[in-house]
Amino acid sequence: MSSSEVDFFKLDSLLSDEERLIRQSVKTFVEERVNPIIIDCFEQGRFPHEIVPEMAELGLLGPTLPEEYGCAGVNSVSYGLIAQELEAGDSGLRSFVSVQSSLCMYPIYQFGSEEQRRKFLPDMAAGRKIGCFGLTEPNAGSNPSGMKTRARRVKDGWLLQGSKAWITNGTIADLAIVWAKDDEGVIRGFLVEKGTPGFRAPEVKHKLSLRASVTSELVFEDCLIPEENLLPQSGGLKSPLMCLTQARYGIAWGAVGAAISCFRSAVDYAKQRVQFDRPIAGFQLTQKKFAEMLTEISKAQLLCLRLGRMKDAGEMEPVHVSMAKMNNVAMALDVARTSRGILGGNGITGDYPIMRHMCNLESVYTYEGTHEVHTLALGKHITGLDAFS
């Protein structure tokens, strides 16, 4: 088997021509435009801003939203394949697209007015405007309902006071979707535009994970938000959670891409690397690792495709996404760690993608609902008992 074709159960044959074409075009983009620069970006802690227009050109920003807003209007399986191929390059790149598409464009489409859709979505699809999503706070992570950010009604709109933590794209964003409690304690979504007085977004430094992605704090000090920047259809914790379901869906696919990249790299390396006068790929212990990794990757691929088809058929529930996100990210981390070991000392360098993926996946394991939170969501579904608190 060629390690470049990690499709043991021939899932390619279950894709439409359009889905295959989309997957191939993103794969080619990543090979040609991302792989040559990504280790430098990672080392420099730099998001490769210069490739955003190309991603927009390929239709990767808000890809499932309707064409009338400048988006590609593709199905959910295609979105999953996009996430998979981007994350085979780097989780930071996939994070950028997830946030832009699922956490910023989706809420504008889902909870916004027609005017807001027309004002923001075409620019965001074209990569002219970048978005971020502010839900997490320094003291409200796994329990977002404990948020302290407040939106107080005033004569001309809303006065926003509070802060958000760990916000992907924050410093580079032109607009932020910010979740805050109103005077009645109801969580509502607000569009906060860059340059609004009282709003700043300092970058988080010294990250050892997702270094090719921007992560920021958002601070709101009596920040006046005009009435037309309230997302009128948002209301309650359900609204941000609906966005997170969209993004987590993409993460479940994306993790498979990172795992495949590590697996490929390890197989290629093991076939070349000679110890005790034979390639290390010929040792039974190494082969056991490969057999187990391919098995886990194949199971995750099957899970993704089924999940995607269910989503397109309107049958997917958040708990399905919980299982796929939880399983696939843990699987990808295991594959990265095992692959790293197969490369021995070389595995810790940036000459191979594995250690970078491994560091990135530590964030992916935590964000968009930690592994434990998704475990509890499944536990609640199975038993009917809430073990969160």
Ligand X SMILES: Cc1cc2nc3c(=O)[nH]c(=O)nc-3n(C[C@H](O)[C@H](O)[C@H](O)COP(=O)(O)OP(=O)(O)OC[C@H]3O[C@@H](n4cnc5c(N)ncnc54)[C@H](O)[C@@H]3O)c2cc1C
Q: How far is the CB of 68 from ligand X (least distance, A)?
A: 27
DSSP 104: I
According to DSSP, the residues that pair with 230 across neighbouring strands are 190
Q: How far is the CB of 186 from ligand X (least distance, A)?
A: 18
Q: How far is the CB of 286 from ligand X (least distance, A)?
A: 32
Just list the catalytic residues.
368
Residue 135 or 333: the one with the smaller Cβ distance to ligand X is: 135
Residue 63 or 131: the one with the smaller Cβ distance to ligand X is: 131
Residue 141 or 198: the one with the smaller Cβ distance to ligand X is: 141
Whole-Å CA distances, 358 to 42, 203, 257, 333, 340: 13, 22, 12, 6, 8
Residue 116 or 136: the one with the smaller Cβ distance to ligand X is: 136
CB 289 within 8 A of CB 342: yes
- The DSSP H or E segment spanning 150 is strand 150-154
CB 360 within 8 A of CB 340: no
* Local structure of 193: helix, strand or coil: strand
> Would strands 131-134 and 175-181 be described as parallel, antiparallel, or unpaired?
parallel
Residue 247 or 335: the one with the smaller Cβ distance to ligand X is: 247
Sign of the C-alpha dihedral, residues 268, 269, 273, 275? negative
* Residue ranges binding ligand X (CB under 6 A): 99, 133-136, 141-142, 166-168, 210, 215, 363, 366-368, 370, 372-373, 376, 388
Q: How far is the CB of 315 from ligand X (least distance, A)?
A: 26
Q: How far is the CB of 339 from ligand X (least distance, A)?
A: 22
Q: How far is 76 from 98, CA to CA, in rounded Å? A: 13
CB 130 within 8 A of CB 105: no
**Residue whose Cβ sits closest to ligand X:** 141
